[in-house]
């Protein structure tokens, strides 16, 4: 079995980026908005800022209280849109329940939308055109599959999960590479029957233990996007890694698979948007 090593692959991408950045006379600036005190979000934001710093990308953290009001968040976004020293804006999700993410994402200037979540950038992806940026997690998955030369054309890819940030954009990217794509979700009946047909199986449901060995086709390529906290407190994905790995041709570990690729793509988007 081939372990699709996102850690090593992302380090290569980051070291290339570092060289590009060293040659640039002015540097991009990434603004990160964090609302509330979600512990996972705090860790993600810290990691993103740490990476940015290592590369010489300036980053700015706008940390807001849990009870932030809608008009306050809109004002923060408007200020960052107008601020010429800020070249990329990231709104860390999820937001507290009283705030609807779409109301705010849709107000970010598309040319600063480093996550590729604005209607403009998602619409460009839907239209098979280059927007300013593509969503980091799906983009990172595609890059990892490319790195390991996993063929996609004509193959059946099953994406478990239909969120706007992972499942849906990933399905579009796979289609663009001529895969035959099925999207499964929480209301899908007979999930196992569908996953068993997958040449490429992507698990992005956020349910540990969801994908067991009997749900996977012999020789399939399995990508586990999820980051769950297991009973033992350790990080795990949706896939029963230990049993599934004996059946498949390639699989991503959790951690060390999709996670580091996501951060690498965020950094790459920050640099590419600055240059275009
Ligand atoms: P989400 O909760 O928005 O979406 C989950 C999707 O899974 C939904 O579309 C839902 O219909 C589907 N689903 C839930 N239970 C299911 C079931 N039993 N069977 C089939 N489908 C089911 O989550 P998200 O933001 O898309 O993230 C998904 C997972 O990926 C989470 O674990 C998250 O932490 C992780 N994630 C990882 C990265 C990374 O960088 N590695 C980035 C983003 C998200």
Q: Return d(Cα 178, Cα 176) in angstroms, integer.
A: 5
pLDDT of residue 3: 98
Tokens of residue 239, six digits:
């896939």
- Is the Cβ–Cβ distance between 152 and 164 less than 8 Å? no
- Is the Cβ–Cβ distance between 108 and 91 less than 8 Å? yes
Nearest-atom number in ligand 1 for the CA of 207 is 15
Mean pLDDT in residue range 82-100: 98
- 150's CB contacts (< 8 A; 6+ apart) are 200, 221, 250
Element (H, E) at 160: strand 156-160
Tens of pLDDT, residue by residue over 46-65, are 999 999 999 999 999 999 99
232 is catalytic: no
Percent of the chain with pLDDT over 90: 98
Mean pLDDT in residue range 246-263: 98
Ligand 1 neighbours (beta carbon < 6 A):
137, 160-163, 165-167, 184-186, 188, 191, 204-207, 210, 225-228, 258-259, 262
Beta-bridged to residue 211, according to DSSP, are: 239
- Say which residue the tokens 């070291």 belong to: 15
Mean pLDDT in residue range 248-255: 98
Tens of pLDDT, residue by residue over 24-38, are 999 999 999 999 999
pLDDT of residue 174: 98
Phi, psi at 32, each rounded to 5°: -115, 125
pLDDT of residue 276: 83
Tens of pLDDT, residue by residue over 155-164, are 999 999 999 9
Tens of pLDDT, residue by residue over 178-232, are 999 999 999 999 999 999 999 999 999 999 999 999 999 999 999 999 999 988 8
* pLDDT of residue 263 exceeding 90: yes
Q: Return d(Cα 106, Cα 51) in angstroms, integer.
A: 26
66 is catalytic: no
pLDDT of residue 231: 85
Mean pLDDT over the full length of the chain: 97
pLDDT of residue 202: 99
pLDDT of residue 136: 98
DSSP 116: -
Mean pLDDT in residue range 95-103: 98
pLDDT interval class at 112 (50, 70, 90): very high
* pLDDT of residue 135 exceeding 90: yes
What separation in Å is there between the alpha carbon of 184 and the centre of ligand 1? 11
Q: Return d(Cα 251, Cα 15) in angstroms, integer.
A: 24
Nearest-atom number in ligand 1 for the CA of 238 is 32
Instruction: Calculate Rg over the CA atoms of the chain.
Output: 19
What separation in Å is there between the alpha carbon of 187 and the centre of ligand 1? 13
């Amino acid at each position: 079995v081939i372990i699709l090593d996102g850690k090593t692959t992302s380090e290569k991408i980051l070291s290339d980026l570092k060289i590009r950045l060293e040659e640039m006379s002015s540097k991009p600036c990434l603004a990160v908005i964090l609302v509330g005190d979600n512990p996972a979000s705090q860790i993600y934001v810290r990691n993103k800022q740490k990476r940015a710093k290592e590369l010489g990308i300036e980053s700015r953290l706008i940390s807001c209280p849990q009870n932030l009001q809608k008009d306050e968040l809109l004002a923060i976004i408007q200020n960052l849109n107008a601020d010429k020293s800020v070249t990329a804006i990231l709104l860390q999700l999820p937001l507290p329940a009283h705030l609807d993410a779409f109301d705010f994402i849709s107000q970010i200037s598309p040319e600063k939308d480093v996550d590729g979540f604005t209607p403009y950038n998602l619409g460009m992806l839907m239209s098979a055109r280059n927007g300013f940026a593509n969503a980091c997690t799906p983009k990172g998955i595609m890059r990892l599959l490319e790195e390991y030369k996993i063929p996609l054309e004509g193959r059946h890819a099953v994406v478990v999960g239909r969120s706007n940030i992972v499942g849906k954009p990933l399905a579009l990217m796979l289609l663009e590479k001529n895969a035959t794509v099925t999207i499964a979700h929480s209301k899908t009946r007979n999930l196992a029957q569908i996953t068993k047909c997958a040449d490429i199986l992507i698990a992005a449901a956020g349910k540990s233990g969801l994908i067991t060995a009997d749900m996977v086709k012999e020789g399939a390529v399995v990508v586990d996007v999820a980051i769950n906290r297991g009973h033992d407190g350790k990080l795990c994905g949706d896939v029963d890694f230990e049993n599934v790995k004996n059946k498949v041709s390639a699989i991503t570990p959790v951690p060390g698979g999709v996670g580091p690729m996501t951060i690498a793509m965020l950094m790459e988007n920050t640099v590419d948007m600055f240059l275009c």
